[in-house]
Amino acid sequence: MVRTEEWRRLPAVVLLILAVALVYYAGGRIGLHQSVVVNGAEVTPLWPPTGIALAALLWMGLRTWPGIALGTYFAIERIGDFSLSGIGIVAGNTLAPVCAYLMLRKAGFRSEVDRLRDALALVFLGGLLPMLISATIGTWTLVLSGDLPPDRFWPVWSAWWAGDAMGVLVVTPLLLVLRRIRRPGEGVGSYRVAEVTALVITSVVVTVVATRSSLSVLFLVFPLIIWAAVRFQLAGSAPCTLLVSVLAISAASDRAGPFDGQTLLEIMINLQALNGAAALTGLLLSAMVTEQNNVRLKIEQVCGELAELVEHLARGRPER
């Protein structure tokens, strides 16, 4: 009976794996549009598939890992001929998000990211630490296969690690938010809609100016992220952070604005510093605000229940 039930579920699991592979591949295609060549290796400042892979694992569990491996294969095959070195890259890109998922589960991570501990777990256990695995395995694979000289290991490794980590810090929160989005109800006032519209327009204009201006005004994006995080929590800060990262990467690729006249190494350092700071600001601040709001609501609920109890006791008290 159990075996029959498993066979019935098999087609759904296969479709799920193929869907994850397709989305992973699509994310890879998007990321490759902004790729750069660092010491002969093609890397991306923001690799969306790592964020997609971790979100898929958080939603559907370990059964999706073959889809991650398959999507990695398709992405590599699209860049060039799949060789023996590609097996190591597939293994590293699959193992890193799986380890991230396992560590997040061990830490009691909640996908709502409504606590500061959840945001910190996503940063360190989901992004910074496990992506060392994919960067190390991938770069060593290129070295051992002869595709990368050993003296170029560290520049490629650091760019690889930063791109994978940024994929988690920027893309995963956005996907976790999109899953919880519901159609706005009648309770949404016109003031709220006007504020969202103002935030979107201001974010686009200010970010374009900050990333394309010859003046060093990249810091102007942080008030926008703070605004989005304080007023709309992760639902506001995640899209805002993605917008900042995409426009900054576009400006860096064009060597425009503050990235003009810089070497490739300087561009990568400044770009990843901006993306990392923006992601951390939005993620941590939105989690803190959400946690405080939840505490306030619980206190109000307890106070309301206490007031009802006092009123009930007062009504039942006999008169003298």
pLDDT tens per residue across span 155-170: 888 888 988 999 999 9
- Band of pLDDT at residue 186, cut at 50, 70 and 90: very low
- Band of pLDDT at residue 2, cut at 50, 70 and 90: very low
Q: Which two tokens stand for residue 12?
A: 């759904």
CA distance 244 to 203: 8
Inter-CA distances, 203 with 175, 195, 198, 212, 240, Å: 20, 12, 8, 14, 7
Mean pLDDT of the region 200-216: 89
Q: Which two tokens stand for residue 314?
A: 């007062």
pLDDT greater than 60 at residue 272:
yes
- pLDDT value for 83: 67
Length of the chain: 320
Q: Which two tokens stand for residue 90?
A: 């597939």
- pLDDT value for 54: 94
Q: Which is higher by pLDDT, 288 or 254?
A: 288
Enumerate long-range contacts of 181-189, CB under 8 Å, 24 or more apart.
Answer: 181/235
- pLDDT value for 185: 53
CA distance 312 to 276: 54
pLDDT greater than 80 at residue 106:
yes
- pLDDT value for 312: 75
Helix, strand, coil shares of the chain, percent, nearest 5, are 80, 0, 20
- Band of pLDDT at residue 317, cut at 50, 70 and 90: low
Lowest mean pLDDT among 76-85, 86-95, 101-110, 210-219: 76-85
pLDDT greater than 50 at residue 248:
yes
Planar angle of CA 177, 119, 107, nearest 5 degrees: 110
Dihedral over Cα of 160, 161, 167, 170: its sign: negative
- Band of pLDDT at residue 145, cut at 50, 70 and 90: confident
- Band of pLDDT at residue 184, cut at 50, 70 and 90: low
Query: Number of C-alpha atoms within 13 angstroms, CB side, residue 135?
Result: 25
Q: Which is higher by pLDDT, 41 or 87?
A: 87
47-66 pLDDT, tens digit per residue, is 899 999 999 999 988 888 89
- Band of pLDDT at residue 40, cut at 50, 70 and 90: low
Average pLDDT, the chain: 84
Whether 35 contacts 81, CB under 8 Å:
no
Give the alpha-carbon dihedral of 175, 230, 106, 5, to 10 degrees.
-40
- pLDDT value for 93: 92
pLDDT greater than 90 at residue 261:
no
292-311 pLDDT, tens digit per residue, is 888 888 888 888 888 887 87
